[in-house]
Amino acid sequence: MKSDITYPLNIGPVHPAFKEPIKFTFRIEGEKVVGADIDFGYTHRAIERIAQERNYIQIIYLLERVCGICSFSHPMAYCLAIEDVAGIEVPPRARYIRTIVGELERLHSHLLWTGVAAHEIGFDTLFMYTWNIREKVLDCLEELTGNRINYAMLTIGGVRRDITADNAQTIHQVLEYYEELYNRTSEILLDDLTLRARTEGVGILTIEQAERLCAVGPTARGSGLMKDVRVDYPVNAYYEILWLKPVSPRDIGKEPIGDVYDRMAVRVLEIQQAIKIIQFCMENLPEGDINTGSGAVKMINALKKLEGEGVGRYEAPRGEVCHYVILDNQEHPVQIKVKAPTYSNGFTWAPMLTNIEIADIPIVVASIDPCVACADRMTYVQADGSRTTISWEELRAKSIQKYKGVRRQWMK
């Protein structure tokens, strides 16, 4: 094909290469991608809008469902924001438990990502392998919180479950298991020739671009931009861990250039860092209360009388999660703004996807660990195909009618 002819290539909204619906329009020149355009919005669920009609306790569980994998991070940021407005002091033990669960989540999220990345380059054995070893941390989370995902662990002013002696033993066992496996796994992930051939020099995001485009999390750190909410901003127990610093490919003696390999290295190193953080927290777990002691109804009544604005930031496995809440003497927040890591990182796809080959598109797209559901957390409700607009009230009445009908039918 002549090199001066470009043609468009549509991938998505639903495509086996991506795990979630997202639409890309590439401009292709021969085998090279010369331009990329992203279209979001295929998994909208109106979460910010729904949150305006739920009370403060219900919202925690609503926000857990912004994303299945970061199901600890979103309610965490929300609780931090509400605690910021209300000036609630979280007991030290609760802060440590929050850190432990958060790091366990990071462990399983990064293992999940390595599996997905391996799958995207066709290395399915590694995919099965990492997902198999991920089971252990999920079982640990199940024992600790009651669920494998959507932990329902957080409440405003603390956590809902304590870590008992039995739980502590399980955590120690799990950590030992991963420490033992870490060397073997990191060797496969960082030194394997197939993986290196597919990831090195692909999907480059320079440090300047990362800073300009406000990249967050492993995407930013893979480019050498030392951005980590755990270190930049005091949250949970992280500010008591003095040795904590953002990881970068420099830790394995490689100057970061911002390719897929660097982002993978950051995630692999963060698995090790997460193990260390949990060990630190288990050793230094303070005694005391795990929450403020006021029940859900009391908390709702206290927050009802408040007015103000608050910010909650938390470093999710994928990057910064930030929630902004506005309270105005109501049982519901007036506004709640949710920013997921993919929202910030989505924009970095444009430079990454330029000048790569078509076959590399899936791995480059997956390299920021996209969570489209996170970014698409709100929607507008539309009628079926006929392009007529239904108002919120009408839609609500219709759904209730439908729900009632179904219920009556089965009640008889």
x-or-dash string of contact with other proteins, 369-398, rule CB under 8 A? -------x-xxx-x----x-x-xxx--x--
Whole-angstrom Cα distance, residue 356 to residue 137?
35
213 binds other proteins per the rule CB under 8 A: yes
Report DSSP state, residue 33. Answer: E
Query: What is the smallest separation between the CB atom of 86 and other proteins, expressed in angstroms?
Result: 12
HSE at residue 77, side-chain half, CA atoms within 13 A, is: 29
Query: What is the smallest separation between the CB atom of 85 and other proteins, expressed in angstroms?
Result: 10
Report DSSP state, residue 399. Answer: H
x-or-dash string of contact with other proteins, 35-74, rule CB under 8 A? -----xx--x-x-xxx-xxxx-xxxxxx------------
Report which of 294, 279, 94, 126 is spatially closest to residue 195, judged by C-alpha positions: 126
Total residue count of the chain as it appears in this document: 412
Choose the stretch contacting other proteins; rule: CB under 8 A; options: 24-32, 206-214, 249-257, 356-364. Answer: 206-214
Residue in 182, 279, 309, 355 binding other proteins, rule: CB under 8 A:
309
Residue labelled with tokens 């407005």: 85
Q: Which two tokens mark 389?
A: 């607009």
289 binds other proteins per the rule CB under 8 A: no
Choose the stretch contacting other proteins; rule: CB under 8 A; options: 103-111, 269-277, 291-299, 356-364. Answer: 291-299
- Closest to other proteins by CB, 30 vs 122, is 122
- Closest to other proteins by CB, 220 vs 364, is 220
Report which of 275, 277, 295, 59 is spatially closest to residue 158, judged by C-alpha positions: 295
Query: What is the smallest separation between the CB atom of 1 and other proteins, expressed in angstroms?
Result: 29
Whole-angstrom Cα distance, residue 52 to residue 335?
7
Choose the stretch contacting other proteins; rule: CB under 8 A; options: 25-33, 100-108, 121-129, 357-365. Answer: 121-129
Residue in 84, 206, 250, 289 binding other proteins, rule: CB under 8 A:
84
Whole-angstrom Cα distance, residue 106 to residue 316?
7
- Closest to other proteins by CB, 359 vs 399, is 399
Choose the stretch contacting other proteins; rule: CB under 8 A; options: 99-107, 180-188, 263-271, 352-360. Answer: 180-188
With contact defined as beta carbons under 8 Å apart, do 368 and 264 qualify? no
With contact defined as beta carbons under 8 Å apart, do 203 and 260 qualify? yes
At a CB cut-off of 8 Å and minimum separation 6, what does 209 contact?
215, 223, 258, 348, 351
With contact defined as beta carbons under 8 Å apart, do 258 and 222 qualify? yes
Residue in 138, 338, 365, 372 binding other proteins, rule: CB under 8 A:
338
Binding to other proteins in span 224-253, by CB under 8 A: 226-227, 229, 231-234, 239
215 binds other proteins per the rule CB under 8 A: yes
